[in-house]
Amino acid sequence: MQPVAVFDQEFLPLRAKLLEIAAALDRFDRSDVLGGREPRAAKIRVAIEALLASGGDRAEQLQLVFSRPYEEDWRERMQMTNIE
Amino acid sequence: MYYIDPHIHMVSRTTDDYETLAKMGCVAVSEPAFWAGYDRGSVDGFRDYFEQLTSFEPKRAGAYGIQHYTWLCINAKEAENVALAREVIALIPEFLDRPGVLGIGEIGLNKNTRNEAIVFLEHVDLAMKTDEQILIHTPHLEDKYQGTRMILDMLCDDSRISRERVLIDHVEEHTVRHVLEEGFWAGMTLYPVSKCTPARAANMVEMYGPDRLLVNSAGDWGPSKPTAVPDFILEMRRRGHPESLIRRVVCENPLAFFGQSRGFVFQPPDAAERVEI
């Protein structure tokens, strides 16, 4: 598909999604959630900033913002090293 | 174009849904055992469930020309009761040779606990001892990344496993690459809010290619859409992808993966026409 056609296809849906996000953030502001102690608010900020990055993996990066980190030593922590 | 939904919980759906699926081109479904929405109290509850999966559902599906296949296990959400889980795992071999049983699933993790991991490993051991394929559930939302990586660690530790006989489901953008790079099959679940949309699934096909990728609805008793696979087909067509690529993902890939199971006997809907040709 031609680049312009891709843009034509995505522009209006993307515009609508961005407006949804803007409206949700406005609602947060009215309830002062972003300025308060809600820990998820910080993740929202980081996620929005990630949208402005480049590299073609924004969706993956956003998923990681909202994920618990992988702990490589989970077997030791769970005492599962001897379980066959 | 006909298609296969490789992960859908039809016991939770109405007969009208079977009719709708048939009208939209679905010719086969595979139904992993899962959580009923409440913890079952005894192994007999699972015996009844496995009976339903292997006898009643195939008949209900067959009335609409849909071939029904299934997978057996105790779901990760009930794995905290390790004693019950072990009773269920001991029960499973009674059902493995029934027609349409494809293997052990959907096993996996939910909250990534020690007990879940123990029960997961014991299911894998059963699959290896009985030469069954495996279908795996990965956790939701913030637990998915860690849980998927833990599952991959456990699978890759076991040298008995043929990776091409294992399907890891509910992959998203942050887990699909890990699953494919380790040589397993990956399933993308099209769920309204918590998993993947048709557009995001199409993105992943564009980024990773169609090899070892499946698309499913995971339709169940919660908010879900049993006709989500046709939504994916439409999205792929809107993007101008060839029918051959779409068919690969929604039909040929499920056939290739399921075809490794001795319980998979598939009758193509156009088989009679092919013979005449």
A 10 A CB-CB count for B23 gives: 11
User: pLDDT for B105-118, tens place per residue?
Assistant: 999 999 999 999 99
Cis peptide before B106 (omega within 30 of 0): yes
Structure tokens at A25: 């953030």
User: pLDDT for B150-178, tens place per residue?
Assistant: 999 999 999 999 999 999 999 999 999 99
Whether residue A68 and residue B121 make contact (CB cut-off 8 A), yes or no, is: no
Which of A70, A80, A84 minimises the CB distance to B146? A70
Q: What is the mean pLDDT of each run of 10 residues along chain B (277 residues)?
A: 97 98 98 96 97 98 98 96 98 98 98 98 98 97 97 98 98 98 98 87 98 97 96 98 98 98 94 63
CA distance B82 to B86: 6
Residue type, position B195, single letter = K
| Residue B31 confidence (pLDDT) | 98
Structure tokens at B36: 């009923």
Question: Do B232 and B215 touch, CB atoms closer than 8 A?
Answer: yes
- For chain B, domains (ranges, CATH) are 3-270 (3.20.20.140)
Task: Over range A26-43, report the average pLDDT.
Answer: 82
CA distance B228 to B96: 29
pLDDT confidence of A10, banded at 50, 70, 90? Answer: very high
Chain B residues whose C-beta sits inside 8 Å of any chain A C-beta: 112-114, 117-118, 121, 141-146, 149-150, 153, 172-175, 177, 200, 203, 238-240
Element (H, E) at B168: strand B166-168
| Residue B275 confidence (pLDDT) | 59
CA distance B162 to B27: 28
